[in-house]
Amino acid sequence: MLEGKFDEASLLKKVIDAMKDSVKLCNFNCTENGISVQAIDDSRVLLISLLIEAGSFEDYRCDRNIVLGLEMESLNKIIKNGNASDMLTLVAEDSPDALNLIFEDKRRDRIAEYSLKLMDIDQDFLKIEDMKFDAVVNMPSAEFAKICRDMKTLSESLQIIITKDSVKFNSEGDFGSGSVVIKSFTDLEKTEESVRITLEKPINLTFGAKYLNDIIKSTPLASQVTIKLCDKQPALFEYQLPSGYLRFYLAPKFED
């Protein structure tokens, strides 16, 4: 049996909100260590890897491994019915045909209970070995989100160029072009505002702006985003959870 209680529904609300526009069907794998998901978008360009460790829950138990096949839009409809500050408990039997979601208001005696039918989802699984990266950028997630939104107004592609101490986001469109340069910066008082660049080799990669604009839906989850890049390889965008992560692997674009 699975029983996982979040102190606040807000965490799962943000996670589902970040995923639902990229993937429609997901298997949520529940083990004694927590809940994990690997899901790929229909175009097979963007992969989501989610890990909500047991430590993200106030109470967590999962006696046997359980797979919950969930339709994200349906899950989102139910999740939206709960308040962000509600306690949220996920309950499923050992061989479940439904996931129960219980929202409890902390101030009042109000309990809302929902049942979501499970689906049998046949998904293939991509084997991602430990990747080596040439460059790692830690920067404020809100700043990264603004850059992705701004650059998408110009072009469907966004070029990321990293040299010693700066990251250049470059966009070349039909009616014009634009770029934003971010430099390493340490804010001792507000560490979440800092930009850290770790570079082994210079990077020049191009990504689809559409996918980046799906990734930035994770911005409410974490004040910083970590971007890991390697020449001619998929990039990794990571948002840390209190205990766990939401990662996106994005395949690059290449010259014709």
Partner 1 sequence: DGLQSTLGEFFPTE
Residues forming the site for partner 1 (CB under 8 A): 40, 43-47, 124-128, 155-157, 172, 206, 208, 233-234, 249, 251-256
Distances (CA, A) of 85 to 8, 72, 106, 239: 5, 21, 8, 21
| In the complex, least distance from residue 233 CB atom to partner 1, rounded to whole angstroms | 6
10 to each of 71, 105, 135, 155, 210, how far by Cα in Å?
19, 13, 32, 33, 26
Choose between 106 and 201: whose C-beta lies nearer to partner 1.
Answer: 201
Distance CA 100, CA 88 (A): 10
Q: Which is nearer to partner 1, 101 or 160 (CB)?
A: 160
Nearer to partner 1, 159 or 166 (CB): 159
Distance in Å, CB of 171 to partner 1, minimum: 10
Minimum CB separation of residue 129 from partner 1 in Å reads: 8
Q: Smaller CB distance to partner 1: residue 120 or 256?
A: 256
Nearer to partner 1, 175 or 254 (CB): 254
What type of residue is 206?
A: T
CB of 95 to partner 1, least distance (A): 24
**CA 211 – CA 42 distance, rounded (Å):** 12
Minimal distance, residue 99 CB to partner 1, in Å: 25
Cβ-contact 180, 151 below 8 angstroms: yes
- Nearest CA-CA partner of 140 in 195, 200, 58: 195
